[in-house]
C-alpha cells in the first residue's frame, strides 16, 4: 500500500543439498535498499535492515526519532532513540509505524543518578558510515563511540553494547513505553537485580487498524558464562507523566512500575536504568519476546539462546538465510553484479514476513502454525505467495495453515492481520487467491504440508458467501455482491452489516478474482461441478462495471462505479492516477469519491488476471489493447510503486506480443529499481515489491490461483530453482544471453527476444506461458533469445491454439 502522503498525491552446505558447495549468497544481500526517508510524500521503501531470521517474530533494529519510520530505521542522520525488538517490513499506513517495542538505550559519560533517560535527552546521532547490516547481524556506532550490535533467533536474541570508555560509566536504559507509534496504553516492568532480569508487559496500538495488542519482553543481563564478567552495580526505575520531559528522576533500587490500562495512548515515559561493571567493556544482554506472557518471553530466550553464544546465534541465522537464498541459484561470477545484488536482496526481503508466531497465539488454542504480519494480503497475494509456492512450500504450507486456522476460529480468512490484530481490509479478501493458489499447486501434497483441504475449501466458500458484521476488518460485503453481481455505489446495506462503503469499483474487480480462486480450488479439490460453475460464473462479474461509453485519451470503455439501479456513476478515468489534474482522495476513506483504491480507472480497468482475453475484447481487440497499454505507460498512468500496477508490464502477452512485455519489463526494472537506499519505487509492502522484482529478473510472472506463469526474458543467463518439498532443481538457461540487453531501452541489436522455449529437449508450442509443473519439475528449460532481426513480433506467443496464456472466458483453466 502507499503511505498516506503518497496516496493523496495521486551455504554453508544448506540442509538437503549436498552437491558442490553453494557460494555464500548471504554476502550478496544489501539490506539498505529501500531505507531512504519517505518524508514529504515520497516513499522510501520502509525496508527493515536489522537482525532477523527468515519469517522471524523478533526483528531487532534501531529506531529514529523522526516520522516516517515505519520500519524503525531510516538511512539518514536522524537521531536514534533505541534498539528495539520487533518491526515490520516495508509497510505503509501509519507513518509512525508499529512495533519498535521495549527499546534499550546505552548511556555513558553520566553517573547513575543523573543519566539522561528521557527519550529526547538520551537520543543520539550515529557516527558517519558506521551502520553495518548483513543477514543475521546489525551494528551501528554513535558519535560518542558507543557501539550497538544485534543478532537473533525466531523469538529471542542477543544485543551487545561496547563502551568506548568503561570508566565513564556503562549504563543501559530499558524503555517500557516508547514504541514507534508512541502508543503505550499501559503495562508494567519488573526488575530482579540479583537475577539480572527485567520483565516487561505493554499494550500498544496496532499500526493499521483501531485495536491494541499486548506484548511481553524479557531481558537477561547476567551471562552465565565466565568469559564476560558483567555485574549490575546500580539499578532503578524512572517515570514521568509527560512525553516531553527531558529530565526524569531515577529512583534507585526501585524494582517495579505498573501503569493501568488506558483506552487511549498515554504520554508516560517510564522504564528501568541499570549500570554495569564489566571487565570487557561490553554489556551483553539476552532478550526474549512473547505475545503470551513475560514468563514465556524469558522461556523463549532460554530455549532459543541457552548458551548466550553470539557466534552460534549469528551463524545459525546466516545458515537459515543461505538455505532460503540458495533456492534461487545463479552463477554469481557469470552474471551482472547489479542484477545479482538486486536478486538476492529481493529474495531476502521477500522472506522476512509473514512472521512465524507459532505457539505465540494469544487468542485461541490450536495445534496449527500461527503466522502474523499479513500486512496486507492485498499487497502480498500477487507476488510474495506465488514466489513461496515455487521454492518454499514447506514454509508456505505453514502460512496457508495459519490463514485456514484464522477462518476456523473467526469464520473468515484473515486479510490484514498484523500486530496480531485484524487490520483494515483494502479491497477484496485477498487471502482467497492465496488459498486458491495453494489448492491448485499443492492439493496432492496438502496432508504432508499440514493443510486440511476440506477446511481450506470451506474457508474459501464461507468467505465467498458470508458477510461479517464488519467487513472493514475481515471478509467481504457479500450482501451487495450476491444481490447485484457488483458492489453498488451509494447503497445502504439493509442487512445491518457495516464496513467502509468506498472503493466500490476496485472491490468489484477483486471480489471477482476471489470467486475465481474458489472456482479453481473447487476444480483442483474435486468439489461439485455446480460449485465450479457457480464461482466461475461469478468471477465474470468484473464485466458488470464496464462502462463502454466512457472515453479517455481516445480509448473507450472503462471500469466505473455503478448505482444500485444499474446507472453508472462517472469518475474521470485519470482520477487518482499519478497525473491526475484534480486533487482526489484515493485511499480507503469516505472522501474517496472515485471508487478505486490507491489507483485509477485507467490502471484498474486492466484487472482481470483470470480472464485477460475478456479485457482485450472489451478494449476493442488486440491491436487497440496494445496501443492502450503503450499509452498507459507513455502518458504516465503507470504507478510503479503500488500493487495494482504489478502485472501490467506483462499484459502484452495476452495480445500475442511477448516482445513488447519483454521490452517493458526491462524498462520498468531499470527505471524504478536500484541498489541504492531509494532503490524501491514504493513501500516494499511486506516484500511484495521484492518478490515482484524477483519475478521480473527471472522472466516469470505468476497468474493468481492458477498453475500458469507468464514467461519472458530473464536478466540472468541461467538460474536453478530448488523446491524444498519436491527436492527438485529446475535449471532455466537463456541460450544466447546478451548482457547488452540489461538496460531500460536495449538496442534492437541486443539478443533478448524469446525465439524458442525448449523443455527437456522438446520445443514448446508457447513462448508466453509455462506451467508450475515444469518450473518446479526438476528438468531443464532453455529459453533461446535473439535480436529483432526476424521481427520478434512475428513470432508472437506461437501458432498453436494454446500458445496464448489461458483466460477463463476463452476456455482456459479447464483443468
Ligand atoms: C543531515 O542530513 C541532511 C540531508 O542529507 C543534511 O542536509 C544535513 O546537513 C545533515 N545534518 C547533519 C547534522 O549532519
Ligand atoms: C485494548 O486493550 C484492552 C485491555 O486489554 C481491551 O479491553 C480492549 O478491548 C482493547 N481494544 C481496544 C480497541 O481498546
Ligand atoms: C540501594 O541498594 C544498595 C544495595 O542494597 C544500597 O547500598 C544503597 O544504599 C541503596 N540506595 C538507596 C538510594 O537506597
Ligand atoms: C568492577 O570490576 C573490577 C574488576 O573487573 C573491580 O575491581 C571493581 O571493584 C568493580 N567495581 C564495582 C563497583 O563493582
Ligand atoms: C515456525 O515455528 C515453529 C515452532 O518453532 C517451527 O516448528 C517451524 O519450523 C517454524 N517455521 C519456519 C518457517 O520458520
Ligand atoms: C471426484 O468426485 C467424484 C464425485 O464425488 C467421485 O466420483 C470421484 O471419484 C472423485 N475423484 C477423485 C480423483 O477423487
Ligand atoms: C452459469 O452461467 C451460465 C450462463 O449464463 C448459466 O447457464 C448457468 O446456469 C450458470 N451456472 C450457475 C451454477 O450459476
Ligand atoms: C439511478 O440512481 C442514481 C443515483 O440515485 C440517479 O442519479 C440516476 O438518475 C438513477 N437512474 C435511473 C435510470 O433511474
Ligand atoms: C544450468 O544448466 C546449464 C547447462 O547445463 C549450466 O551451464 C548452468 O551452469 C546451469 N545453471 C546454474 C545456475 O547452475
Ligand atoms: C541480429 O543479428 C544478426 C546476426 O548476428 C545480424 O545479422 C542482424 O543485423 C542483427 N539484427 C539487428 C536488428 O541488429
Ligand atoms: C508445453 O509446455 C506446457 C507446460 O508449460 C505443457 O503443458 C505442454 O504439454 C508443452 N507442450 C509440449 C508440446 O511439450
Ligand atoms: C508462426 O507462424 C508464422 C507464419 O508462418 C511464422 O513466421 C512464425 O515464426 C511462427 N511462430 C512460431 C513461434 O513458430
Does residue 59 belong to any structural domain of this protein? yes
> What does the pLDDT look like over 509-565, one tens digit per residue?
999 999 999 999 999 999 999 999 999 999 999 999 999 999 999 999 999 999 999
> What does the pLDDT look like over 472-496, one tens digit per residue?
999 999 999 999 999 999 999 999 9
Distance CA 662, CA 127 (A): 44
* Ligand 9 near 648 CB (within 6 A): no
pLDDT at 802 over 50: yes
pLDDT at 10 over 50: no
Grid cell digits, residue 154: 525466531
pLDDT of residue 42: 75
Pocket test for ligand 12, best of 789, 795, 801 (most atoms within 8 A of CB): 795
Does residue 337 belong to any structural domain of this protein? no
pLDDT class for 16, splitting at 50, 70, 90?
very low
Distance CA 589, CA 175 (A): 35
pLDDT at 9 over 70: no
> Looking at the 3D structure of the chain, how many domains does it have?
1
pLDDT of residue 226: 59
Pocket test for ligand 8, best of 488, 565, 566 (most atoms within 8 A of CB): 565
| Contact (CB, 8 A) for 30 and 134 | no
* Ligand 2 near 262 CB (within 6 A): no
Residue that is written with C-alpha cell 535498499 in the block: 33
Lowest mean pLDDT among 4-13, 345-354, 781-790: 4-13
pLDDT of residue 39: 79
Handedness of CA 32, 36, 38, 43 (dihedral sign): negative
Distance CA 593, CA 598 (A): 12
Atom 11 of ligand 4: nearest residue by CA position:
277
Does residue 229 belong to any structural domain of this protein? yes
Give the pairing type, strands 250-252 and 132-134.
unpaired
pLDDT of residue 21: 73
Domain that holds residue 136: 31-321
Pocket test for ligand 2, best of 261, 262, 293 (most atoms within 8 A of CB): 261
**CB count in 10 Å sphere of residue 138:** 26
pLDDT class for 685, splitting at 50, 70, 90?
very high
Return mean pLDDT, the chain: 96
Atom 8 of ligand 11: nearest residue by CA position:
764
> What does the pLDDT look like over 620-641, one tens digit per residue?
999 999 999 999 999 999 999 9
Beta pairing partners, 543? none
pLDDT of residue 342: 99
**CB count in 10 Å sphere of residue 178:** 28
H or E segment to which residue 504 belongs: helix 504-524
Q: How far is the CA of 696 from the centre of ligand 11 (A)?
A: 22
> What does the pLDDT look like over 259-296, one tens digit per residue?
999 999 999 999 999 999 998 899 999 999 999 999 99
Percent of the chain with pLDDT over 70: 97
Distance CA 101, CA 125 (A): 20
Atom 13 of ligand 11: nearest residue by CA position:
764
| Nearest in space to 236 (alpha carbons), one of 185, 179, 172 | 172
pLDDT of residue 228: 64
Percent of the chain with pLDDT over 90: 94
Atom 11 of ligand 1: nearest residue by CA position:
77
> What does the pLDDT look like over 115-169, one tens digit per residue?
999 999 999 999 999 999 999 999 999 999 999 999 999 999 999 999 999 999 9
**CB count in 10 Å sphere of residue 104:** 25
Does residue 104 belong to any structural domain of this protein? yes
Does residue 446 belong to any structural domain of this protein? no
pLDDT at 18 over 70: no
Angle at 675 between CA 672 and CA 681, to 5 degrees: 30
Does residue 353 belong to any structural domain of this protein? no
pLDDT of residue 789: 85
pLDDT at 177 over 50: yes
Q: How far is the CA of 790 from the centre of ligand 6 (A)?
A: 49
Q: Which ligand is nearest to the CA of 732?
A: 9
pLDDT of residue 20: 57
Distance CA 70, CA 94 (A): 7
Helix axis angle for 393-410 and 431-442, nearest 10°, is 130
Lowest mean pLDDT among 58-72, 460-474, 789-803: 789-803
pLDDT of residue 653: 98
CATH of the domain at 87: 2.70.98.10
Contacts of 790 (CB under 8 A, 6+ apart): none
| Nearest in space to 640 (alpha carbons), one of 603, 585, 593 | 603
Q: Which ligand is nearest to the CA of 746?
A: 10
> What does the pLDDT look like over 204-237, one tens digit per residue?
999 999 999 999 999 999 988 756 689 999 999 9
Average pLDDT over residues 804-815: 97
Distance CA 276, CA 369 (A): 40
**DSSP string spanning 289-326?**
EESS-HHHHHHHHHHHSTT--HHHHHHHHHHHHHHHHT
Q: How far is the CA of 247 from the centre of ligand 7 (A)?
A: 72
Helix axis angle for 393-410 and 384-391, nearest 10°, is 130
| Contact (CB, 8 A) for 150 and 286 | no
**DSSP string spanning 665-710?**
HHHHHHHH--SSTT-SSS--TTTHHHHHHHHHHHTEEEPTTSSEEE
Beta pairing partners, 158? 151, 286
pLDDT at 682 over 70: yes
pLDDT of residue 40: 73
H or E segment to which residue 384 belongs: helix 384-391
Does residue 197 belong to any structural domain of this protein? yes
What burial class does residue 260 get, using C-beta atoms within 10 Å of its C-beta: 0-12 exposed, 13-18 middle, 19+ buried? Answer: exposed
Beta pairing partners, 355? 372
Grid cell digits, residue 572: 474521470
Q: How far is the CA of 537 from the centre of ligand 7 (A)?
A: 6
| Nearest in space to 796 (alpha carbons), one of 762, 760, 757, 761 | 757
* Ligand 8 near 563 CB (within 6 A): yes
Backbone angles phi, psi at 301, to 5 degrees: -65, -45
Q: How far is the CA of 793 from the centre of ligand 12 (A)?
A: 10
pLDDT at 8 over 50: no
* Ligand 1 near 303 CB (within 6 A): no
Atom 7 of ligand 11: nearest residue by CA position:
771
> What does the pLDDT look like over 288-317, one tens digit per residue?
999 999 999 999 999 999 999 999 999 999
Does residue 199 belong to any structural domain of this protein? yes
> What does the pLDDT look like over 75-113, one tens digit per residue?
999 999 999 999 999 999 899 989 999 999 999 999 999
pLDDT class for 3, splitting at 50, 70, 90?
low
* Ligand 10 near 279 CB (within 6 A): no
Atom of ligand 1 nearest to the CA of 76: 2
Q: Which ligand is nearest to the CA of 524?
A: 6
Average pLDDT over residues 347-375: 98
Q: How far is the CA of 662 from the centre of ligand 11 (A)?
A: 21
* Ligand 3 near 252 CB (within 6 A): yes
pLDDT of residue 363: 98
pLDDT of residue 229: 82
pLDDT at 181 over 80: yes
Give the pairing type, strands 132-134 and 187-192.
unpaired
How far, in Å, are 56, 477, 593 from residue 498 at the CA level?
Answer: 35, 8, 18
Q: How far is the CA of 308 from the centre of ligand 3 (A)?
A: 29
pLDDT of residue 23: 95
pLDDT of residue 24: 98
Amino acid at each position: 500500500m502507499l503511505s498516506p502522503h503518497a496516496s493523496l498525491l495521486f551455504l554453508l552446505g544448506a540442509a538437503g543439498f549436498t552437491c558442490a558447495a553453494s557460494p555464500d549468497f548471504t554476502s550478496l544481500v544489501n539490506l539498505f535498499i529501500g531505507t531512504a526517508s519517505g518524508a514529504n510524500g515520497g516513499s522510501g521503501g520502509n525496508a527493515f535492515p536489522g537482525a532477523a531470521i527468515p519469517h522471524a517474530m523478533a526483528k531487532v533494529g534501531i529506531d529514529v526519532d523522526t516520522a516516517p519510520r515505519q520500519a524503525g530505521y531510516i538511512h539518514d542522520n536522524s537521531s536514534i532513540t533505541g534498539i528495539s525488538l520487533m518491526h515490520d517490513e516495508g509497510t505503509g499506513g501509519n507513518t509512525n509505524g508499529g512495533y519498535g517495542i521495549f527499546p534499550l538505550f546505552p548511556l555513558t559519560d553520566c553517573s547513575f543518578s543523573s543519566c539522561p533517560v528521557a527519550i529526547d535527552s538520551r537520543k543520539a546521532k550515529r557516527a558517519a558510515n558506521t551502520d553495518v547490516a548483513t543477514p543475521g547481524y546489525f551494528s551501528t556506532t554513535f558519535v560518542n563511540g558507543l557501539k550497538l550490535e544485534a543478532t537473533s533467533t525466531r523469538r529471542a536474541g542477543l544485543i551487545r553494547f561496547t563502551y568506548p570508555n568503561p570508566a565513564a560509566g556503562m549504563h543501559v536504559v530499558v524503555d517500557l513505553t516508547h514504541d514507534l507509534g508512541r502508543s503505550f496504553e499501559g503495562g508494567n516492568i519488573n526488575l530482579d537485580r540479583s537475577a539480572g532480569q527485567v520483565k516487561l508487559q505493554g499494550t500498544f496500538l496496532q499500526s493499521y487498524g483501531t485495536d491494541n495488542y499486548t506484548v511481553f519482553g524479557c531481558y537477561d543481563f547476567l551471562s552465565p558464562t565466565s568469559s564476560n564478567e558483567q555485574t549490575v552495580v546500580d539499578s532503578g526505575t524512572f517515570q514521568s507523566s509527560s512525553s516531553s520531559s527531558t529530565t526524569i528522576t531515577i529512583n534507585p533500587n526501585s524494582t517495579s512500575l505498573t501503569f493501568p490500562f488506558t483506552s487511549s495512548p498515554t504520554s508516560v515515559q517510564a522504564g528501568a536504568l541499570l549500570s554495569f561493571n564489566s571487565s570487557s567493556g561490553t554489556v551483553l544482554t539476552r532478550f526474549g519476546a512473547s505475545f503470551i506472557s513475560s514468563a514465556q518471553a524469558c522461556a523463549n530466550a532460554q530455549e532459543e539462546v541457552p548458551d548466550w553464544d553470539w557466534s552460534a546465534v549469528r551463524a545459525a541465522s546466516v545458515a537459515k538465510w543461505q538455505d532460503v537464498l540458495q533456492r534461487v541459484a545463479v552463477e554469481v561470477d557469470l552474471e551482472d553484479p547489479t542484477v545479482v545484488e538486486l536478486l538476492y536482496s529481493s529474495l531476502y526481503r521477500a522472506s522476512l514476513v509473514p512472521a512465524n508466531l507459532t505457539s505465540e497465539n494469544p487468542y485461541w488454542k490450536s495445534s496449527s502454525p500461527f503466522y502474523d504480519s499479513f500486512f496486507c494480503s492485498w499487497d502480498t497475494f500477487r507476488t510474495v505467495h506465488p514466489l513461496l509456492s515455487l521454492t518454499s512450500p514447506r514454509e508456505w504450507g505453514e502460512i496457508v495453515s495459519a490463514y485456514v486456522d484464522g477462518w476456523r476460529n473467526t469464520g473468515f480468512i484473515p486479510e490484514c492481520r498484523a500486530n496480531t490484530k485484524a487490520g483494515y481490509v483494502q479491497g477484496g479478501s485477498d487471502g482467497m487467491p492465496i488459498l486458491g493458489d495453494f489448492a491448485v499447486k499443492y492439493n496432492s501434497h496438502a496432508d504432508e504440508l499440514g493443510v486440511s483441504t476440506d477446511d481450506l475449501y470451506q474457508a474459501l466458500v464461507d468467505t465467498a458467501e458470508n458477510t461479517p458484521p464488519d467487513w472493514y476488518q475481515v471478509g467481504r460485503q457479500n450482501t451487495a455482491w450476491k444481490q447485484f453481481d457488483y458492489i453498488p455505489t451509494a447503497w445502504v446495506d439493509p442487512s445491518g452489516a457495516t464496513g467502509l462503503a468506498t472503493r466500490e469499483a476496485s472491490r468489484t474487480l477483486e471480489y471477482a478474482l476471489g470467486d475465481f480462486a474458489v472456482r479453481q480450488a473447487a476444480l483442483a479439490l474435486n468439489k461439485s461441478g455446480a460449485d465450479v460453475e457457480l464461482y466461475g460464473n461469478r468471477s465474470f462479474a468484473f464485466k458488470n462495471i464496464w462502462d463502454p461509453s466512457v472515453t479517455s485519451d481516445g480509448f473507450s470503455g472503462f471500469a466505473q462505479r455503478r448505482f444500485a439501479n444499474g446507472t453508472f456513476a462517472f469518475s474521470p478515468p485519470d482520477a487518482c492516477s499519478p497525473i491526475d489534474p484534480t486533487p482526489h482522495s484515493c485511499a480507503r476513506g469516505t472522501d474517496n469519491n472515485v471508487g478505486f483504491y490507491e489507483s485509477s480507472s485507467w490502471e484498474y480497468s486492466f484487472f482481470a488476471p483470470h480472464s485477460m482475453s475478456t479485457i482485450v475484447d472489451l478494449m476493442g481487440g488486440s491491436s487497440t489493447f496494445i496501443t492502450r497499454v503503450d499509452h498507459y505507460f507513455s502518458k504516465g498512468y503507470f504507478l510503479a510503486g503500488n500493487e495494482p500496477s504489478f502485472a501490467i508490464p506483462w499484459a502484452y502477452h495476452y495480445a500475442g506480443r511477448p516482445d513488447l512485455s519483454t521490452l517493458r519489463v526491462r524498462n520498468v526494472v531499470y527505471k524504478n529499481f536500484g541498489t541504492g537506499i531509494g532503490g524501491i519505487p514504493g513501500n516494499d509492502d511486506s516484500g511484495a515489491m521484492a518478490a515482484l522484482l524477483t519475478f521480473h529478473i527471472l522472466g516469470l510472472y505468476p497468474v493468481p490461483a492458477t498453475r500458469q506463469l507468464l514467461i519472458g526474458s530473464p536478466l540472468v543467463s541461467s538460474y536453478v530453482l530448488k523446491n524444498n518439498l519436491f527436492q527438485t532443481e529446475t535449471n532455466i538457461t537463456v541460450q544466447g544471453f546478451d548482457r547488452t540487453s540489461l538496460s531500460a531501452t536495449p538496442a534492437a541489436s541486443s539478443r533478448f527476444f524469446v525465439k524458442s522455449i525448449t523443455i527437456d529437449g522438446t520445443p514448446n508450442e508457447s513462448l508466453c506461458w509455462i506451467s508450475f509443473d515444469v518450473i518446479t519439475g526438476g528438468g531443464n528449460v532453455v529459453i533461446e533469445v535473439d535480436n529483432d532481426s526476424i521481427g520478434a513480433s512475428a513470432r508472437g506467443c506461437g501458432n498453436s491454439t494454446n500458445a496464448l496464456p489461458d483466460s477463463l472466458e476463452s476456455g482456459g483453466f479447464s483443468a
